Amino acid sequence: MITRNFFNRVAATLAAGGMMLAIFADLAGATTRLNNGDTLNGFIQTNSPVFRYRNQSVRNAPFQSAAGEEYIFNAQQGDTIQISVEVEDGSSLAPILVLTSSQTGNQVAYNDKTTSLKYQVPTTGEYRLLVLAKNNTRGRYTVSLSGIGQGTAAQPPSTQPASTPSTDPRRQLLQREYGLTVLDTCPGSRTSLVVAYFPEYGQTYTYCANPTRLLRSGEYTYDLSSGDLKPGAPSAQGSSSSSQTSSTVATPDARRQLLQQDYGLTVLDNCPASRTSLVVAYFPEYGQTYTYCANPNRFLRAGEYTYDLSMGELKPGAPAAQGSSSSSATAPTSTSDPRRQTLQNDYGLTVLDSCPAATSSLVVVSYPEGSQTYRYCANPNRVFPAGEYTYNISTRKLEPTRKPQQCTVQVGGVCIVR
């Protein structure tokens, strides 16, 4: 085990040789390099250096400061690194683990709930690990690092197959909702393109598309809480070195990583038929719901949870409106529902929270998406009288639903209605 007693020996040697103690101060404050398989001793004291960090589990959280120690290491793209901190018996230390990219300065991973951090490296380079003291706690610990040089392609769970152009929900949303032709990869020069960023779970997914008359070339960020593409790049995330570009290659599963890193869960490769003794986590996104199963721990008991991306939290309970296996789904009541917002913003309709039994005096809109149809009810207006309509994804228009005619007389195969 490598220890910091090395610095004490260096200090004694320098003092004996009459050299300046300032050199020792520089050495003691220097960042420690970690190599694969290393286990080092650490000690966060009252006079330990203070670092800034952001709580990634809370959306738009401000920067905070905490005392701690810093380590650096190099990793290759595809490496799944495992960082573990063991607090010494009798120590009051409550560690926070923060990982940043040295190339960009972006914070790429965070955990203050458990004493371990698992991260799949998207870009080869140097990374900085901060072991910080939560709530001004202090104490001794050991930190270990493994997984460098053992990179393998990430295998998403069976509940989320590897994204391809036909299954990638973000790509589909850009094509269906905004009529964009999405490129397979983003080129080096993007000035003439629409560049769309999707910040999710501490990662940013970047897509490039040809502009249209509705969306001119420029940078946009998708706000999942409002269901809109908004002009501008993400404020805190989205550097090209840490983002995931649109690709047919399997990328690290951000939802699985979040469950493992932020909640300390051991995620199963697939969900069994019986789930009563498991944590079942739902991630509703873009009209789809991704389901993950994990063994419970002391933080999360067995039961159903839904991830609220706007709050950055797992909340007890199943999704209210998405993820049903049936072919019809009730309209969500959330203000983040993009279909509901389209009806209100583009068509001036006042959408009801749910459809009543009698709908003859209402506007009833069906949204067919994939194998599901979402149904919404709204009060009629002067543009859209009461009746049934279907949203045409290709034309992005509300079209009256044609009902089959009831033939009074049929002559030679021709239906005559009286």
Q: What is the pLDDT of residues 230-244, one digit of tens each?
A: 888 876 433 333 333
Structure token digits, residue 296: 């419970």
**pTM (predicted TM-score):** 0.36
For residue 15, the surrounding DSSP H or E stretch is helix 5-16
Look at residue 161 in the predicted model and tell me its pLDDT: 38
* Residues 39 and 141 grouped into a single domain: yes
Residue 352, domain extent: 328-400
Whether 313 contacts 329, CB under 8 Å: no
**Among residues of the chain, what percentage have pLDDT more than 90?**
14
**Is 323 within a domain?**
no
**Is 345 within a domain?**
yes
- The count of domains in the chain is 4
Look at residue 417 in the predicted model and tell me its pLDDT: 54
Structure token digits, residue 315: 């909340």
* Residues 43 and 138 grouped into a single domain: yes
**Is 47 within a domain?**
yes
Residues 374-382 have a mean pLDDT of 86
* Residues 139 and 75 grouped into a single domain: yes
Whether 314 contacts 204, CB under 8 Å: no
Residues 327-344 have a mean pLDDT of 61
| Higher local confidence (pLDDT), 38 or 152 | 38
* Residues 111 and 193 grouped into a single domain: no
Residue 15, pLDDT > 80, answer no
3-state secondary structure of 257: helix
Count of alpha carbons within 13 angstroms of residue 100, beta-carbon side: 18
* Residues 187 and 283 grouped into a single domain: no
**Is 162 within a domain?**
no
Look at residue 62 in the predicted model and tell me its pLDDT: 82
The Cβ of residue 217 has, within 10 Å, a number of other Cβ atoms equal to 14
Residue 11, pLDDT > 60, answer no
Q: How far apart are CA 123 and CA 96, in angstroms?
A: 23
Q: How far apart are CA 151 and CA 123, in angstroms?
A: 12
Residue 6, pLDDT > 60, answer no
Beta bridge partners of 198: 205
**Given pLDDT bands bounded at 50, 70 and 90, which one contains residue 86?**
very high
Q: How far apart are CA 264 and CA 309, in angstroms?
A: 18
Whether 145 contacts 37, CB under 8 Å: yes
Residues 160-178 have a mean pLDDT of 69
* Residues 225 and 270 grouped into a single domain: no
Q: DSSP secondary-structure letter at 10?
A: H
**Is 23 within a domain?**
no
**Is 394 within a domain?**
yes
| Higher local confidence (pLDDT), 27 or 380 | 380
CATH for 132: 2.60.120.380
Look at residue 84 in the predicted model and tell me its pLDDT: 92
- Per-residue pLDDT reduced to its tens digit, 63-79: 889 999 999 999 888 88
Whether 170 contacts 199, CB under 8 Å: no
| Higher local confidence (pLDDT), 230 or 20 | 230
Residues 257-277 have a mean pLDDT of 84
**Given pLDDT bands bounded at 50, 70 and 90, which one contains residue 12?**
very low
Comparing CA positions, the residue from 61, 58, 85 lying closest to residue 71 is 85
